[in-house]
Amino acid sequence: MKYSIEEIQEKLRKKFKGNRFIHTLGVEYTSVCLAMKYGEDLEKAELAGLLHDCAKQLPEKKMIQLCTDHKEVISEMEMEHPFLLHGKAGACLAQDKFEINDEDILNAIRYHTTGRPAMTLLEKIVFVADYIEPNRNKADHLDELRRSAFENLDETVLLILDQTLDYLETSGKDIDQQTVITRDYYRDLLRSSNNE
C-alpha cells in the first residue's frame, strides 16, 4: 500500500471542507464497527469507509474525465447529474492517487450511493455506514436503523433503500434507476428468505 491510513486521513483532511471530513471519519469508524460485528477484514473496511467520498469535492468535469479514462459505464442520468458519479469517480481516484487495487474496496466505494444487487459484505458495510454514521442527523428512523445495522445487515440495506426512494419520490427529486434495481433485489431476497 502506497500510503498508511493516517497519511490518507491527512490528505483528505486538507482537501475536504467543513463537515465532509467529519462525515468521512464517521463512515470510517462505523465501517470498522460493522466489520467487527460481521467478521470482515478491519483494514479493508477502514480504507473503504475512509475513501468512500474521496472524489466528492472534484469538479463535475473531472469526475466525468476520470470515469471516461477508466472506462466506467456512465448512465444517462449520471451524465445529466454528474454528482451522482462520485462513487465511480472515487473508485478511479482511489486507484490513481492512493494505489488501492483491491477490487472489493473499489466496489464498496463505487456502489456506496446506490448499492447494487448481491453486494459483498464489505459493500453492504460501507453502504450502511454511510447512512448511519453518528454525525448524520437528518434522515428519519436513525435510532432504529443504527440498532438494526448490528442485527440484520440485509434488512438494514433494504430499509435504507426504501427510505431513500420514499424521500426522493416525495421531494420530487430524480431517482437513479440503480437504486430501484438494488431495492427490488433486496426486497425479493428478504421475502424469499422469510418464506423459507
Instruction: Determine if 130 is a binding residue for Fe ion (CB under 5 A).
Output: yes
With cell 428512523, the residue in question is 141
Least Cβ distance, residue 196 to Fe ion (angstroms) = 34
Interface with Fe ion (CB under 5 A), residue from 53, 72, 78, 176: 53
Contact region with Fe ion (CB under 5 A), list: 10-18, 77-85, 125-133, 186-194: 125-133
188 in the Ramachandran plot: left (φ > 0), alpha (ψ -120 to 50) or beta? alpha
Task: Identify how many contiguous H helices and E strands the chain contains and give both numbers.
Answer: 11, 0
Contact region with Fe ion (CB under 5 A), list: 57-65, 98-106, 126-134, 155-163: 126-134
Running DSSP on this structure, what letter comes out for residue 99? -
Contact region with Fe ion (CB under 5 A), list: 9-17, 39-47, 50-58, 73-81: 50-58
Q: How many residues are there in the chain?
A: 196
Kindly tell me which of 81 and 189 has the beta carbon lying closer to Fe ion: 81
Instruction: Determine if 133 is a binding residue for Fe ion (CB under 5 A).
Output: no
Running DSSP on this structure, what letter comes out for residue 173? -
**Nearest-CA neighbor of 12 among 166, 101, 20?**
20
Kindly tell me which of 123 and 130 has the beta carbon lying closer to Fe ion: 130
Position 98: which residue type? F
Footprint of Fe ion on this chain (CB under 5 A)? Answer: 53, 130
